[in-house]
Amino acid sequence: MAHPTELFDLTGKVALVTGGSRGLGREMVLAFAACGADVVVASRKLDQCEAVAAEVEALGREALPVAAHVGKWEDCGTLVDVAYERFGKVDVLVNNAGMSPLYPSLADVSEALYDKVLDVNLKGPFRLTSLIGTRMAAGEGGSVINVSSIAADRPTPTETPYAAAKAGLNALTVAFARAFGPKVRVNCIQAGPFLTDISKAWDMASFEKSAKAMALQRGGRPDEVVGAALYFASAASSFCTGAVLRLDGGVP
């Protein structure tokens, strides 16, 4: 039996993280690298991907920065192709990229905004998991981690398309776990309010007031996603698939 700390070892593994240039994605990229993985860092802005890739290389691991818009079907295919061309495999896929634009009212949600939100939060993960999961299942297996939101279970009028997309992502988690098992595990981190760059646009006074209803009475630090991400990425979760883990500080 392996020592418990060895269960989290990712030496020799390759991880692909979308939305990997900032926020939760960056934290996961650096954690995977610290545990021995080489990493594909993907987001829409190449310069930001390159900056995080340099941090990975400083940890002694290889990194491939890729500019990709996961809401675009062709970009997803290109991202997969360049990842496999460079490393020959992907052992861990993290569908982390997401967006939730503000809108004045539900009636003011345009078709373009609606499509953009569903494309990034749902279509991209579907396409990437379909492509990479198929290759994982035909090879040595792997792990897929979806990053969802508490909005999937607690939708509000201010984020309705986003909530619908994240609820769909929860459903994809279970469906893909069944489709690609037993060699591929597919799990989901259902994130609560994390104090990433996005939180800079929040009304913090209002948030701090509402946070008092949470069990931990605060927002999450970006690095607090690392434990769940490493668990799902590694052999530590070898008997876990199709799971949706709430990581929300005890939102009621």
**Which residues have a catalytic role annotated?**
162
Strands of 184-191's sheet, edge to edge?
Answer: 63-67, 38-43, 14-18, 92-95, 142-149, 184-191, 244-247
Question: Which candidate, 29, 174, 50, places its Cα nearest to that of 97?
Answer: 29
For the chain, how are helix, strand and coil distributed in percent, rounded to 5? 50, 15, 30
The Cα 173–Cα 149 span in angstroms is: 13
> Of how many residues is the chain composed?
252
Q: How many helices (H) and strands (E) does the chain have?
A: 8, 7
- Output the DSSP codes for 103-125: -S-GGG--HHHHHHHHIIIIIHH
Q: Which residue has the tokens 């530590």?
A: 236
